[in-house]
Chains A and B, each alone.
Chain A
Amino acid sequence: GAVVSQHPSRVICKSGTSVKIECRSLDFQATTMFWYRQFPKKSLMLMATSNEGSKATYEQGVEKDKFLINHASLTLSTLTVTSAHPEDSSFYICSARDSLAGGPATDTQYFGPGTRLTVL
């Protein structure tokens, strides 16, 4: 149980184009999902908290107009990198909490396999 998928696993795009990354919880409901960015040899940096049916909460320094997040259902959140540039190249990872786990178990985050974005 508690499987999270991401699609695509890797994407290469031209500078100036937009890229959409999907994050799905396959066997549980997730009212809250998270989007992280990971640089080489670095830890995970939380970009935003995605809340089903409401606006995402962005961390300080993350441009909300550049990284659009939509969480339209209990099992799907999308991250769209708009007008991508080479400096946006990175490994993007999503995670999800099981909304129905109950108690502190709800705090457990299950991670997707990540998406490698390369902007040329």
Chain B
Amino acid sequence: AQSVTQPDIHITVSEGASLELRCNYSYGATPYLFWYVQSPGQGLQLLLKYFSGDTLVQGIKGFEAEFKRSQSSFNLRKPSVHWSDAAEYFCAVGGGYSTLTFGKGTMLLVSP
């Protein structure tokens, strides 16, 4: 069965500092991996996705993620966080027309 672990329930980062959100997955085949962001009371917005090829994926809003098969990880990074990045971030795994499995999310707080 596929699963996603986001070990950090919440993270606080100073504005302008770098960010890394962790995501580990379990999947029986080549995974398709996604990061979504959710602002309070809103739906989910796709930040980036990995299907194959280059393991460093660029997304919107200056985010990137790196797929590391040996570590079963797909961590999300941003070099300089803005106050508007404060939100909940979800990592998800799926593939081959299967349903997505989401992690429990990481709440990002940005301090001045």
A binds B: yes
Residues of A within 8 A of B (CB-CB), count: 24
Docked complex Cα distance between A44 and B51 (Å): 22
A93 cross-chain contacts in B, Cβ below 8 A: 43-44
Asked if A19 lies at the interface with its beta carbon under 8 angstroms from chain B, I say no
Check A106–B43 contact: CB distance below 8 A. Answer: no
Q: Does B42 have its Cβ within 8 Å of any Cβ on chain A?
A: yes
Contact of A112 among B34, B43, B49, B98 (CB under 8 A): B43
User: A-B contact count, CB below 8 Å?
Assistant: 53
**CB-CB contacts of B34-45 with A at 8 A, as 1s and 0s?**
101000011111
The answer to whether the Cβ of A67 comes within 8 Å of any Cβ in the partner chain is no
- Contact status A111-B45, CB under 8 Å: yes
B65 shortest CB reach to chain A, Å: 15
CB A38 to nearest CB in B, in angstroms, measures: 9
User: B109 in the interface, Cβ–Cβ < 8 Å?
Assistant: no
Q: Please give, as numbers and ranges, the residues of chain B lying within 8 Å of A95 by CB-CB distance.
A: 44
**Quick one: which of B41, B46, B90, B96 contacts A43, CB cutoff 8 A?**
B90
**B25 CB within 8 Å of chain A:** no
Q: Is there an interface contact between B104 and A107, defined as CB atoms closer than 8 Å?
A: no
22 interchain pairs, CB-CB under 8 A: A34-B100, A42-B104, A43-B102, A44-B44, A46-B99, A49-B99, A93-B43, A93-B44, A104-B51, A106-B97, A107-B51, A107-B97, A107-B98, A108-B46, A108-B49, A109-B46, A111-B43, A111-B44, A111-B46, A113-B42, A113-B43, A114-B42
B residues contacting A by CB (< 8 A) are 32, 34, 36, 41-46, 49, 51-52, 90, 94-100, 102-105
B-binding residues in A (CB < 8 A): 4, 6, 34, 42-44, 46, 49, 91, 93, 95, 103-114, 116
Return the 10 tightest CB-CB contacts between A and B, nearest first.
A111-B44, A104-B51, A113-B43, A111-B43, A43-B104, A114-B43, A43-B102, A44-B102, A112-B43, A107-B32
